[in-house]
Every structure is written in C-alpha cells, then in structure tokens.
Structure 1
Amino acid sequence: MTARNNGLLTKFVGWIERVGNKLPHIFWIFLFFWFLVIVLSGVFSGISAVAPGGNEKIEIISLLNRKGLDWILSSMVSNFTKFPPLGLVLVMMMAAGFAERAGFIPAIMKTLTSVPDKLMIPAIFVIGICSNLASDAGTVIIPPLTAALFYARKKDPIFGLILGYVASASGFTANLFIAGTDVLLAGITNTAAKIVDPNYNVYPTANYFFMVISVFVITIVGTIFTIKFAMPKLASWDEEYERAQVPHEYLTPLTEKEIAGMKKAGLAAGIFFLLMFLLTIIPGGPLRDPVKNTIVPSIFFNGMIPILFVFFVIAGWIYGKNVGTVKKPTDMINYMVESMKTMASYIVVMLPIANFTYTFTYTNMASILAIKLAHLLELAHFTGIGLFIAIILITTFINLFLSSGSTKWAFLAPVIVPMMYYLGYTPEWTQLLYRIGDSSTNSFTPLFTYFPIILGFASVYKKDVGVGTVISRTFIYSLLFLITWTAMAVVWYYLGLPLGPGAAIRL
C-alpha cells in the first residue's frame, strides 16, 4: 500500500503535516503565550470571580505597571529554577540514562529475541509499552528490534517494525513501573493543583493502578486484534526482504554473561526497592509520614525520585560491572553526563514554559478562567462522561500537531486541572484523561519526533516504503488504543476505583 492509494487518509495526513510544519519551535510558542498573558493581565485587570465553596473574590492582577515589571524581572530566574518538572526530570534522567548506557535497560528489551513464537506478540506489547523506562530511547530501540525479530522468523519485518512502534509510542504512558513520564506529568499537575489548593500534592504514583492494569488490557486487546485481524490482512512476506541488510546486533540474542548480569542487577535493585516499600508499610515504619504515620502521604512517596534514582544506579552499576560496560566509578559519571547532553533542548524550552505557567497563575487568570469555565459547564450540564471524553479528544487532536506530552500539559494543566477541581474531580483524574488522549495518537501523527526514524528503519527492508504505509497501519492501532483506554476510564469511573495510592477520582 502506497501513499497514493490511501485516499482520504493520505489527504488528512498531508493536512496534518502542512499545518504542523507551519508551527514555530515550542520555545517560541510558549514565549509568545508568556508575553500574551502579561498583556492580557493589563487588558482584563479587575475582572473577578468567586471560587465555588468559598467567599473570597479573586481578581486579575495587572503586570503592566511598575509593580508588575518588578515581579516579572525579579521572579524570572526563580520561576525557572523552582519549576518542579525541571529538577524531577533531570534527576530521573541522570540515573535512567546511566542504566541505559551501562546496558541494563537495552538488555531487558533484548529479551524479546528468546521469546517463543506463540508469546512473541504479547511480549512485544508488554516490553514495548514498558520501554518508556528508558524515556524516548525505547521508541528508538524497540521498533528495529521487533522488525529484526520478525525478519529472523520469516515474517513481515515492516509489520514487526510498526508493531514495536505502536507499542512503544502509543503505549508510552502505561507501565508496570514508575517511569519518567509519571514524574514529569505529576510535577506539572502538582503545580496546577496548587492554583486552587496550595496544600494539595500530586505524586508520581497518581495513576499507577490504572497504568499497571492498562499494560495487561492493552496487551490482551492488541494481541487479539493483531493475530485475528492485522497480521492476516496487513502482514505479508515480500521478495525484496530477502536482500535486506539487517544490522547484526538486532539479530544477536543476549549472551550468558549479559543474562547473568541482568539477573543480578534486577535482583539487587528489586531488593532495594522492596526494602524501601517494607519500611513504608510496616506500622510505625521510618518511611511513613512523620506526623500522621500514614502511607499516603509518606516519606516514601515524597521521596520517590531519590528512591528511583538509587534503584537505577544500583541496576546499572551491577549490570555494567558484570558485563564490562562499567569498569571504574568515573564511567558512571561519564554516562550521566552523556545523558544530560540529550536534555539540553529540554532545559532551554523549560524557561518560557515555567514562566508562562507561573505568570498565568500569579495574575489569577488561570483561576478565573477555570472558575468561569466550570460554571458554564455546570449551567450546560456538561459534566461526567461527556466531559471526560471531550478532554480526551481535545488532547488527541492537539497531539496531532504538538507531540511533546509535557509541553501540551504545561499549557493545558493550569486551566483544565483547576476547572475539573471546581467540578469536584481530582487533579489525578484530570491528568489520567490527558494521558489517554496524549499517548494514543503518538504513533499516528507524522509530526512525532521519531516518525522519520521509523521510515528510515523501514527502508532497510523495502526501499519504497512511504508515509502512507506507516500511517495506514499506525492509525488503526492508535484508534484501538484510544477506544480501549477510554472504555477503561469509563468503567473505572463508574466503579469508583482508586487511580493510584491515595488517588481518587472525586474530591
């Protein structure tokens, strides 16, 4: 199937590409919104609203005066340095980057090569979905690995490539473990929640229960769909595949030394995490809350980032020492430095994002907009399931043009989180709805950062693979993920299940 034969789908994809390519860099987008908020604070100065459940009147504060100028200049640096996602992500990526470069995380992913045929499809989904432990690296590692896996078993390698791509890209937000995504989004949600309640705390475990179950549900639904429909209709062996020059490392299974190293590293890191958990759940444990003696909140959840940091350092160090990728202490430092180099663009973009967020909050524009939107929705009786689906679909649509999950959430959270709060829904629930819409269409949009890379991997096996070939296949999986997750959210809502430890749906 080529791009010319896809009809409406090709036109739709082409439209997305044209519109998306006209968007400036995300730095300039948020810089524009930052200055726009400053200007609008002067235009709408004095407009007020009363928060539901309280008598305090909130007014928009103008920044177009001497006092406002003083706040802008004196707080610009501190807004950047205290922005929660900045420190959280850098610390998390320092350790995860070390574990990745030491070989521990790639070794886990490479276990696919030894999986028997009957378990291959579900294994691809589970490992692909959980590959975001290595952040975006999973989207680069998994697809060529699954393509080579299919190729070695005389199955359509391009279909295998796309299967690994949709699992790692569209399944990005789920995991069996707490990953960098949880840390990053929770930091942004926490900042937005404090607009309406300064004492509210959102933890990286906010959606953990839902996301763990998601791994199994998406795997089961995806496996059945793939075996019963997708592979029979979309996967076929082409004679051109016989001439493919497949990189040798993708076809090489783990060595005995790598397997032994992975087992030792997993055991040691697992024991450490189990110890931290036990020190939290035992009555009077040292990692419980020092005042309330509770599990949620507790020192354990407040210190989740340092705990995960040590977890990945232990795993990376023991694996690296066993296989020879880590020979001396400075190797760990060098690997961490390398991982930080990949975060340079993230750090730069955080400057306007952080200042936009705090300026939007300081002027009270975020609160007043949220209050008035919540009031309008109540008058229109647009709450419940209809509202939830609308948030998911809006996020999905925006994701077609702006694929960075954190930047979208940094823009949406200051309005949506307080709005939903005033309607009686927790920030954790709002974050979950966003995550569903954000993740589902990652593999479908051609503006996703790694889409061109996937086309490059596909060309290894077949030279004339076009955008339409990839899009036509990723679209059906994006739709499958979106429908499945939305249905899960509806069921979760009606059953009133907790989203994570101490995280409910309603306030």
Structure 2
Amino acid sequence: MPKEKSGALMRFINWIEKVGNKLPHMFWIFLGLWVLVILLSGVLAGISAIDPAKGEEVTIISLLNKEGLYWILTNIVKNFAQFPPLGLVLVMMMAAGFAERAGFIPALMRTLTKVPDKYLIPAIFILGICGNLASDASLVIIPPLTAALFYSRRKDPIFGLILGYAAASSGFTANLFIAGTDVLLSGITDAAAKIVDSNYNVYPTANYYFMVASTFIITAVATIFTVKYAMPRFARWEKEYEHAQVPEEYLKPITDYEIRALKKALLAAGGYFLLMLLLTIMPNGPLRDPTQNTIVPSTFLKGMVPILFLFFVIGGYVYGKSVGTVKRLTDMVNYMADAMKTMASYLVIILPIANFTYTFKHTNMASVLAIKLADFLKSAGFTGIGLFISIILIATFINLFITSGSTKWAFLAPVLVPMMYYLGYTPEWAQLLYRLGDSSTNSFTPLSPYFPVIIGYASIYKKDVGIGTIISRTFLYSMLFLVTWIILAIIWYLLGLPLGPGAPINL
C-alpha cells in the first residue's frame, strides 16, 4: 500500500488514532470512574449547594465509612438490574435482531436497486439515515450495497461506498421512525433527569420531531453538496474497477418476489402501528394516559418499547414466512437468541456504568456539581446559543476517541442533564445537543470498529486504497452534517419548537 501524504489533516488523524488506541476498554474506564466517585465522596463530603428548583440544601455524602460500604455492597446487583437502558435495549435487540435475520430489514435496504439514477443520491441518504432501525447492522449492509449500485451503473464504487457509510454512520441519530438509539439514549437521559426530579420522565419520542425534520434537511443538503461539488471532484471511474471481484450478492437486485413479501410485511407491521396510534389519538382511546386521558404522557409513549417490539416481530415474521426464512415459530426464538449473543459485551459494560451512575447520584455529587456549574455559567453569562454549540462540539471531539454513543452519554448525562435543568433547559434538549455532536463524526473517526470494514470493502474495487482516501471524503460529510445540524438546532431554539411529543426546549 503506497504511503499517504502526511499533511496537516493526516497528522491530526494519526494523532487521534494513536491516542484512541491507548484508551483501555470501556469496562475499565467506567470501573475507574466508579471507584473515583467513591473516593471523591470521602474527600468532598460536606460540600453543599442550594437546589434552585426546590430551595433545599444538597450535601455530598461520603461512602468511605461503614454506612457507605453497606450501601455499595447491597446495591451493586440492584443498580445493574434496575438500570433503565438495560431492559429496553435487550427487548429491542431481540425484535430488531429477529427482523434482520428474517431478511425484513435487509430487504428494505435493497430496495435501492430499483431506484432510477436521478433519485439515487437522495435515496441513499434517506435509506442510510433511517438504516439505524437495524442498529449497527446498517453499517455493514448499506455501504457495500451502495458501492455495488454505483459499480453496476459505471459510477465510482468507492465514492458510492463512502456515501452509504456517511449516511448510515454520520446520520445515525436521525430517522423517520423511533429506533433503538432513541430507546437507549432516552433511558440514560431519564435516569439522569431523575437526579434532579424523580417525577420527570423522558420517552423514546423525546427528539422525534427534530429527527424527522433533520432527516429531510440533511438529505436535501447532502444531495445538493454531492451533486454540485463532491461527485464532480471525487467520483471518477478508473480502469482498475473493470477487474474488481465483486461478490455476487452485492450486485443481486431485489427480486419481484422479495418486493411482494416486503409489501406484505410493511402492510402488516405498518397497519399494526397505525392501529396503536389511532387507539391513542382517538377521544378516550385505550392507549391514552389512564388517569389524565392525555396523549402526552400516555400508555402509547410509555409503552413504546413493547409496541416497537411487536412492530419488528410482525414485519419480520410476515416477510420471513413469505420468502421462507421463517418456517416454524421456533425459528423466531432461535433468531432472537442469536441476536442476544451480540449483546454479551454490552451486558458486561453495563455493570460498571450502572453503578457509576447510581453512585454518582446517591452521593449527591452529580447534583452539587451540576448546580455549581449552572451557577458558574449563569454568572459568566455563558448560556444560550454559545453554550449549545459548545456542548455539540465537546460531544464531537469526544466521539473521535470513544465511538460508542451510549457509553459517552452514560458518563456525560449525569452532569450535563442536571446542569442544563438548573439553567432552565429540558433533559430532552440536552440529549439532542449531545446526539448532534456524537453522530456527526461517526464516519470520520478511524477508531470506529466499522472503519476497517469499510477499508476492506473499498479494497474490493481498488487494492491499494489508502486510509487517507476514505478519511478525506468522510471528513467532508462529517463537517457538512455537523454544520447543518448546528444551524438547524439554533433555528429550532429561536422558534421555540417542540423537540417531540411533550418535549419542549425550555422548562
């Protein structure tokens, strides 16, 4: 492989890679943070702050005593078992894993093969952005598919690969539907919000309105940028592509038989979801809140995870039955069990994450730190748009080193959410700002576990493709997504629009 030119950009990338590779596993990072909180609770014990919401004094308590040791040992298992994201993620992964293995989700993505040339670019962005319905699976399904689409139409396949990767990774936080990301992050945000208000609830629909709007806006901006700027400069067909050994399954278009099965599955799953929605919006509907008869909150919103579970199960089952990937009911169980195997590392990491979060809350360190940070920002006059952009950029920078979105939010949320709360902003707004920064640079960081996979796919078409080739293109789209989202967030804030059902920006 030829040596890439060592310009300023590549030196920066190499520095990121070098630093990131020295970080220990997330388990050890959070175990260290957990131990650090316990030690600091003894050092900082007695420091207090006045909760502006309740007018009560909040004091840091020490765990370095007999009572503290009792609390730690009797709550380790309880903290793990009751951590909100744990059950939510496992339930969602069972359903999404089944739908993926039954072929329902991959079939949705392969519909791109039927798209005419003039609609291909926006279709790639729409489908790539919405691909997180399949969670990380979209990052290994969409890029090779878009590369093969470009190849079959004698367009630069590596550029097609980059488009699919940028859409699926940098656009990971947006969607037209409620996805696993919404469920996972809202669970962490909900736990952080309860540090300051035990009655506050954050739902998976917390950022839904913004995400639907941003899906279309990001698609429009990225399409214009691609057609007018990126393709003329970077998308060139090379002679070497003529000899590419492209796997047959990448070039195989979706068949009419599969499309008919997909239509049946979408009709069944979509009809079910529409029924759930109608049972919520109709007067005195059974899925409204049982005591207040409201839509926000409601049984529909609080029960979003089991509702989505059935959506994926119905879609996967109908599609699988139609094409033969699901022959018996036991196939469904086997597919779900297989999906759970991929969650083993997540279960291990959750143990220190959950205990770090609850220990941070129990010692009152999270509340005191958040109150003092909020007071400092207020006295410095650093609130509003400047603060929002800073939070987005901090999340963007951290994402270059730690690529797991839920991992970063797990240690940022206990401070960021209460701090924003005391400044008068909702947990939903704090979560959104984090998501925008976290998602944008997903395709840019070489520390992503999927980046080597993309290099491998690119080498199918060009053996000597370098890291710099991929980085230079994905960097452009990362910055495009980031700037677009910052502008959209500022406009959203200035207009005072709700982020989702019952989710305003200001308290």
TM-score when scaled to structure 1? Answer: 0.99
Partner of 1:152: 152
Post-superposition Cα deviations, 1:16-63, rounded to whole Å, max 9, x if no partner, equal: 000000000000000000000000000111111101143211111100
1:257 lines up with 2:257 in the alignment: yes
The 5-angstrom pairing of residues 101-120 of structure 1 reads 101-120=101-120
| Letter in structure 1 aligned against 2:310 | V
Partner of 1:98: 98
Give distance in 2, aligned partners of 1:6 and 1:291: 64
| Letter in structure 2 aligned against 1:310 | L
State the secondary structure of the residue aligned to 1:58.
strand
Give distance in 2, aligned partners of 1:3 and 1:112: 35
Partner of 2:346: 346
Shift of 1:95: 0.3
Q: Do 2:189 and 2:413's aligned partners in 1 also have CA atoms closer than 8 Å? A: yes
Post-superposition Cα deviations, 1:249-284, rounded to whole Å, max 9, x if no partner, equal: 111111222111100000011110011101100111
Partner of 2:403: 403
The 5-angstrom pairing of residues 4-403 of structure 1 reads 4-5=4-5, 7-403=7-403
Give distance in 2, aligned partners of 1:370 and 1:251: 53
Give distance in 2, aligned partners of 1:164 and 1:491: 28
Shift of 1:2: 7.0
TM-score when scaled to structure 2? Answer: 0.99
Unmatched segments (≥5 aa) in structure 1: none
Q: Structure 1: which 4+ aligned runs deviate by more than 6 Å?
A: none
Give distance in 2, aligned partners of 1:334 and 1:84: 26
Post-superposition Cα deviations, 1:320-341, rounded to whole Å, max 9, x if no partner, equal: 0000000000000000001000
Give distance in 2, aligned partners of 1:254 and 1:466: 32
Post-superposition Cα deviations, 1:149-169, rounded to whole Å, max 9, x if no partner, equal: 000000110000000000000
1:479 lines up with 2:479 in the alignment: yes
Partner of 1:432: 432
Shift of 1:4: 2.4
Q: Do 2:4 and 2:466's aligned partners in 1 also have CA atoms closer than 8 Å? A: no
Partner of 2:489: 489
State the secondary structure of the residue aligned to 1:424.
coil
State the secondary structure of the residue aligned to 2:461.
coil
| Letter in structure 1 aligned against 2:143 | P
Give distance in 2, aligned partners of 1:391 and 1:258: 44
Post-superposition Cα deviations, 1:65-96, rounded to whole Å, max 9, x if no partner, equal: 11100110100001001001110000001001
Give distance in 2, aligned partners of 1:433 and 1:78: 31
Give distance in 1, aligned partners of 2:273 and 2:53: 41
State the secondary structure of the residue aligned to 2:4.
helix
State, as a whole percentage, how many aligned pairs show the same letter. 73
Give distance in 2, aligned partners of 1:424 and 1:260: 51
Q: Do 1:3 and 1:468's aligned partners in 2 also have CA atoms closer than 8 Å? A: no
Q: Do 1:2 and 1:469's aligned partners in 2 also have CA atoms closer than 8 Å? A: no
Shift of 1:239: 1.0
Shift of 1:238: 1.1
CA RMSD of aligned residues (A): 0.9
Give distance in 1, aligned partners of 2:63 and 2:475: 45
Q: Do 2:86 and 2:350's aligned partners in 1 also have CA atoms closer than 8 Å? A: yes
Q: Do 1:121 and 1:223's aligned partners in 2 also have CA atoms closer than 8 Å? A: yes
Shift of 1:3: 5.9
